[in-house]
Structure formats: C-alpha cells, structure tokens
Amino acid sequence: MTVEGADLVEGIWARDPTVWTGEDEAKWLGWLDEPMRDIDLSRAPVGEYEDYVLLGMGGSSLAPEVFRRTFGATNFHVLDTTHPKAIRRLQDGIDAGSTFFLASSKSGTTLETRSHLEHFWELAGEKPEQFAVVTDPGSELEALAEERGFHAVFHGEPTIGGRYSALSAFGLVAAALMGADVDRIRKRAREMAEACRGTDNPGLKLGLQFGEGWGRGRDKICIDDTPGGFGLWAEQLIAESTGKDGKGLVPAPGESPAAPDRQHAEVRLPDPHELGAEFFRWEFATAVAGAILGINAFNQPDVQSAKDRTNEILAGGDDPDVEPSGSLDELLGGAEEGNYVCVQAFIDPTDDNESRIMKLVELIRARTGCVTTHGFGPRYLHSTGQLHKGGPPIGRFVQIVDDTGDEIPIPGKPFGFGKLIRAQAAGDFASLQERGRPIVRIRLEDL
C-alpha cells in the first residue's frame, strides 16, 4: 500500500477509521489525546510505604516495568507471572503489612490479576487502605474496590486499548509511586504529540520505515537494547497491533539487524524522562505501520483463543498435560529463511533462568540463522501472543516448562497458581497447534 504522509497524518488526527480498515478504529484513538488529558494522581501514596507491588498483565504491567527498570525503583515490584515460586519469592521479600498493592486491569476481569489480588488481599490481612486499583470506569474491579473500601480507584480512559495506555493512569500511577517526575514525563509526551501533527514528524518517519520495510520483506523489527528494557513494552505494541489477518511485524528486541528480512529501530532515551516522548512516538509509528499493512491496528482478535483453551483445561478438573512433546532438532531443522523462532518459557522468571533461556536463544540463532525471540509465560500471552496466532505463518515455537513447586491456593478458585500456569502453557500449546504452527515442548532441566 502506498501512503502519502500528509494525508495519513491528517487522517489519523481526524480519527478517520478508513486510514486502516473502516471498522471500529475511531473508538480506540484516545491515546492521541492522552498527553493533554488531566490525570489526578493526588491519591497516589508516594513515599508512604516501604514497598509497592503492581499486579497486572500485558498493557497494565509492561509500561510500569519499563518505568521501574529505567528509574531503578528497587522498592517497586511488578508481578506479571502466575508461577508459584515467583509469587512466593515476592511475598517473602516484602512485609505485606507495610506494602501498598496496586491491581491494574482495564477490563477488571483479567484472571491473573484478580487471582493475585485475592491472594495478597488475604496475605495483607484484608486492609483496604493498602490497596488501590487502576481500571476502566464501571468495571468489576472498580465495583470490588468500592465494596471493600480500597484507598483509591484510578480510572483509565475507555477509548484507549491496553497496549496504547502507557501515558494514561495505567503507566503514570506506577511512575508516580516510584517517585518519578510525572509532570516532566508528560511534558515530553505533549511535545512529541505536537511534533507528530506535521508531515515531517518523528512518529510518521518511524512508522513509514516500519511499513515500507515490511513491503520490502524486512518484517523483523530489531529494537535497540536499553537498560530499562524498552523493548518489553514495544514488542507488545508492535506484535499485538500488526500481527493479524496473516500479516505482521515481528518485534525482536536486541536482535542484530544484519540480515535481509530485518530493519533496525532506534530507541531514543538520552534521559529517563524521555520515555514520555518515546512512548508516544512509537504509538504513532505503529498506527502508521498498521495503515500501510492495511489492518486494524487496535483490535486483538486471536488473543482470546489461548484464554479459552486454558479455561477449558481448568474446567476439566484433570492436571494439565505439560509433558515434553516433539523434537527440537526437527523443529530447528525445518526453519527456513524469513522464519522466526520464539522461545516461550512458562518457568520461574529468575535471572539465572533467563540466562539459561538466553543460551538456548543463542544456540537457536546460530543453528537456524533466524531471528529468535523469547518471552516468559503467561506475560507474553498478553504481549506477542496475537502475532504468533494471527500473524504470518512464519513462526516456529519452543515451549519450556519447569517444576512449579509447592502449590499456592487461589482464594475462591478450585485451582492454585501452579495449576493455572500449567493450564496456560497447555492452552497456548493447543491453540498454536490448532493453527498449524510448529511447536515443541521441553523441560527446563533438559536444556
């Protein structure tokens, strides 16, 4: 698709859905206004607690995680795994009686987040002053917070999808609790938004690079590594926005761009507060790329499939089957030029385990010559999972599981966190198989 820059920019700011597919895109463009919208952070208890814990997944956790890493907020913790060992390690590392918990979910129904909330609600002694939520108005989570008398409810903007919500309450409440200068972050975001109104603007340039590169077969976006892990956030934005209708850009943080199917994407963060500008630049760029690909950049039609399979497995009552399956040698031997390999690790996300995963990633890169990405489950289900299922059929998948250890019950549920993460692994495996995606499963101890 050939796009005139001026017309494209004008159409985006005019909220014209025909820029993309003419469907419901206009109702999801609130992110364009978010840098200018007032956000009341006066109820954020900054500096009043020894530790802060954010409970969230995907768009509710990735911007806070990047803020946490970028600003070095050692007393701010982001929980976006259901692995019992990780949950136990977090609760052993804090004093629940002097910790503030922030549950973050746009829909208010996210299974992982609601399970985390119930667990820590009990652990902290059901003290409402230690809890707050970030959620869209009228959600079940807001109703629960009001029923229990939580410290605060911070509202998201209903016209913004989760992956475009970094500059809304979903990102900025967390940033405020870390002690970051939110006014400065928002100022840079406003300046970038203004810069993205002209044809010679940073977001348009990056988006045209993405889209025109895709048209030339350069569909892998090699994102600069940064100390704050900007790629963690950017890969959800790109993958979930563009990976559908058999098309898609494959985000590859830290990957070398030196191959014919790849392009380099620079991250501009000379100062931590530049995150405000960079979040907006990449959001605008992704919207531009979606227009060039001719897809709806704001829906996620294939994400639900893994959730449905997970729920079916949990409802069945039996322990999920996560036994090894398939041959890694055969999977890698079948890789072709232009493919990518994704390592999906439903394991305890420790530094040591990440090092083990990265050794496997390097081995796969060396053997196949393919872009090789990786993600911890279930976090990646809310991030790159849409691309894996709805994008081009060029992915090859390696699922890794481990011993989940002693079970941690989930209050009000007939299953615990260990069974939940095993069901999520089994559910995604089945969902990918149903779509004919090549996938194997191996155990961590066999690496």
**124-148 core/surface letters (b: 16 or more CB in 10 A; e: else):** beeeeebbbbbbbeebebbebbeee
Phi, psi angles (nearest 5°) of residue 426: -65, -40
Phi, psi angles (nearest 5°) of residue 40: -85, 110
Same domain, 276 and 399: no
Same domain, 57 and 117: yes
CA 301 vs. chain centroid, Å, equals 16
Q: Could you say which of 237, 272, 293 is where a domain stops?
A: 293
- State the sign of the Cα–Cα–Cα–Cα dihedral 127, 128, 131, 136: positive
Helix (H), strand (E) at residue 395:
strand 395-401
* Token reading at 206: 């990056």
Residue 2 domain-assigned? no
Same domain, 95 and 174: yes
Helix (H), strand (E) at residue 382:
none
Q: Report pLDDT for 21.
A: 98
Helix (H), strand (E) at residue 386:
helix 385-390
Q: Could you say which of 264, 293, 322 is where a domain stops?
A: 293
Same domain, 136 and 207: no
Which 3-state string (H, E, C) describes 149-203? Answer: CCCEEEECCCCCCHHHCCCCHHHHHHHHHCCCCHHHHHHHHHHHHHHCCCCCCHH
Same domain, 327 and 364: yes
Same domain, 311 and 429: yes
Same domain, 47 and 166: yes
Q: Could you say which of 293, 322, 352 is where a domain stops?
A: 293
pLDDT in tens, the chain (447 residues): 345 788 999 999 999 999 999 999 999 999 999 999 999 999 999 999 999 999 999 999 999 999 999 999 999 999 999 999 999 999 999 999 999 999 999 999 999 999 999 999 999 999 999 999 999 999 999 999 999 999 999 999 999 999 999 999 999 999 999 999 999 999 999 999 999 998 789 999 999 999 999 999 999 999 999 999 999 999 999 999 999 999 999 999 999 999 999 999 999 999 999 999 999 999 999 999 999 999 999 999 988 888 899 999 999 989 999 999 999 999 999 999 999 999 999 999 999 999 999 999 999 999 999 999 999 999 999 999 999 999 999 999 999 999 999 999 999 999 999 999 999 999 999 999 999 999 999 999 999
* Token reading at 421: 């993460």
Same domain, 78 and 28: no
Report how far residue 331's alpha carbon sits from residue 335's, in angstroms, rounded to the nearest whole number.
7
Same domain, 56 and 145: yes
* CATH number of the domain that residue 135 is part of: 3.40.50.10490
Q: Report pLDDT for 3.
A: 58
Q: How many CA atoms lie within 13 A of 396 on its CB side?
A: 24
Same domain, 174 and 204: no
* Range(s) of the domain holding residue 360: 304-446
Tell me how many domains the chain contains: 3
Report how far residue 385's alpha carbon sits from residue 406's, in angstroms, rounded to the nearest whole number.
28
Same domain, 108 and 201: no
Residue 78 domain-assigned? yes
Q: Report pLDDT for 199.
A: 74
Same domain, 264 and 220: yes
Q: Give residue 405's region: left, alpha or beta (phi > 0; psi -120 to 50).
A: left
Residue 416 pairs in a beta bridge with: 409
Nearest-CA neighbor of 151 among 42, 76, 67, 245? 42
